[in-house]
Structure 1
Amino acid sequence: MSENKQPGVWDGFKAFLMRGNVIDLAVAVVIGAAFSNIVNSVVKGIINPLVGAVGTKNLDNYSSCLESPCTGTGANAKGIQLMWGSVLGSALSFLITATVVYFLMVLPMAKFLARQAARQKAKEGTKEIIEVSELEVLKEIRDELVAQRGQRDQGRREY
């Protein structure tokens, strides 16, 4: 009797880990985590103070009371208080972070890649021109040799 042995859990896990895209994803997560520190530093150190010069630095204190009286904090809080300031602060932080990432990383990288593609295309275009012109020169040489041979053969027939 032949039994079809199915791969074990360990074999499947090993195959999953050895896939290239899993390794790439792990590297991307680590680099992304390191990069987020840089972006957070730019946002906290430069962008937030500039925004704070126009408005307030901390939106967490803004709220609305749905059911009065809204007093106290934590377990002693009374009433229903909506903390819309913290939501607005998080949304603004996200927009500022996305703007910093776009203008400091995505846009320059896109321009760099476009220049690289243009250079590569120019190199390929030059190579094609050279190949075509070399082919044309070789055809002309062949035609000239055939013409010279034809003239020689005609000269021999006349004698």
Structure 2
Amino acid sequence: MEGFKKFLLQGNVVELAVAVVIGTAFTAIVAAFTEAIITPLLAQAFNADAIADATIGPFKIGLLIAAIINFVIIAAIVYFVLILPMAKLKERMDRRKGITPDEPVETDVEILHDIRELLRAQQAGPPRT
């Protein structure tokens, strides 16, 4: 039981739970926006009483368009509210640490290769003349 309690109180689980709750609330807001504003506009554009009635031939295209608009709205908000500011913050923090974006960062393999070469040079001793 102690392990389960530790698991539940771990930071990642709590953060994930908060993210799910916020995501659910955000989805409700976007769905309401789409239902109140986008759906009537689409229904009017297709001369339909409701978006579900908007069709092209046998296809209910209005439902698909509403879902795509929901996705685009959510993706745009996530990008402009979360991703872009976090990228700018990371860039600022890297600049403070002296890391420039165009400066190539050595990989672990490259660093290990350099260490191996230095060790080989040390084992060989000073160069003979």
| Aligned residue in 2 for 1:47 | 38
Q: Cα deviations across residues 11-39 of structure 1 (Å, max 9, x unaligned)?
A: 44323322322212211111112212221
Instruction: Give structure 1 stretches of 5+ with no counterpart.
Output: 1-9, 65-82, 127-159
Identify which range, 37-46 or 95-104, moves more after superposition.
37-46
Return the match for 1:17 from 8, 19, 36.
8
- Larger relative CO (CA 8 A, sep 6+): 1 or 2? 1
Q: Which amino acid aligns with 1:102?
A: A
CA contact (8 A) 2:42 2:62 kept: no
Aligned-residue identity in percent: 31
TM-score (norm 2): 0.55
Residues 1:32 and 2:23 are matched in the alignment: yes
> CA, structure 1 residues 60+46, in 2 after alignment: closer, same or farther (shift >3 Å)?
closer
Residue 101 (structure 1) aligned with residue 74 (structure 2): yes
**Structure 1 stretches of at least 4 aligned residues deviating more than 6 Å after TM superposition:** none
Q: Given the superposition, is the C-alpha separation of residues 59 and 101 from structure 1 closer, same or farther in structure 2, using an over 3 Å criterion? A: same
Q: Which has the higher strand share?
A: 1
- Residues 20/124 of structure 1: CA separation in 2 closer, same or farther (3 Å cut): closer
Q: Deviations over 1:54-86 (max 9, x none)?
A: 113332586x9xxxxxxxxxxxxxxxxxx963x
Q: Which amino acid aligns with 1:115?
A: K
The residue that corresponds to 1:58 in the other structure is: 51
Q: Distance in 1 between matches of 2:97 and 2:7?
A: 39
Q: Which has the larger radius of gyration?
A: 1
Residues 104 and 24 of structure 1: CA distance in aligned 2, closer, same or farther (over 3 Å): closer
Q: How high is the TM-score relative to the length of structure 1?
A: 0.46
Q: 1:14 to 1:121 in 2, by over 3 A?
A: closer
Paired positions, count: 96
Distance of 1:120 and 1:61 partners within structure 2: 50
Is there any run of 5+ residues in structure 2 with no aligned partner, and where?
100-129
